[in-house]
Amino acid sequence: MKIEITKPALAWFKQEFDLQGKGEETIRFYARLGGCASIQTGFSLGISQDTPSTIGVSQEMEGILFFIEQEDLWFFKQYDLKVKFSRKRNEIEFVYEESA
């Protein structure tokens, strides 16, 4: 499993979370009850600034660590997470791609 953040999505995170990319900033993706993700009925993907505990997978970009805790990997099954920015909707979107 891997995380991919596009450059436009990275810019969105920097703006929305006021991130400077100084090496100690983190963004966590986690499974939350409610909503409707295309890969898990009754759950959706949440985002928070959080301190890592037991990282299952991560991606560092420009001094910002994006991660998923080990306990949330079940949500992704056999999928990778790609985070993109939709200019049309002016928001980020999650794309789940089958792992290679």
- Residue 42, sorted as left (phi over 0), alpha (psi -120 to 50) or beta, turns out to be left
Tell me the pLDDT of the chain averaged across its residues: 91
**Listed range (10-14, 20-24, 53-57) with the worst mean pLDDT:** 20-24
| pLDDT at 77 (0 to 100) | 86
- Boundaries of every domain in the chain: 3-98
Q: Residue 22: pLDDT band by 50, 70, 90 thresholds?
A: confident
CATH class, range 3-98 = mainly beta
Tokens, residue 100:
């290679």
| pLDDT at 17 (0 to 100) | 95
| pLDDT at 36 (0 to 100) | 66
pLDDT tens track for 56-65: 999 999 999 9
Distance CA 62, CA 23 (A): 8
Whole-model pTM: value is 0.91
What's the chain's Rg over C-alpha atoms? Answer: 13
Q: Residue 89: pLDDT band by 50, 70, 90 thresholds?
A: very high
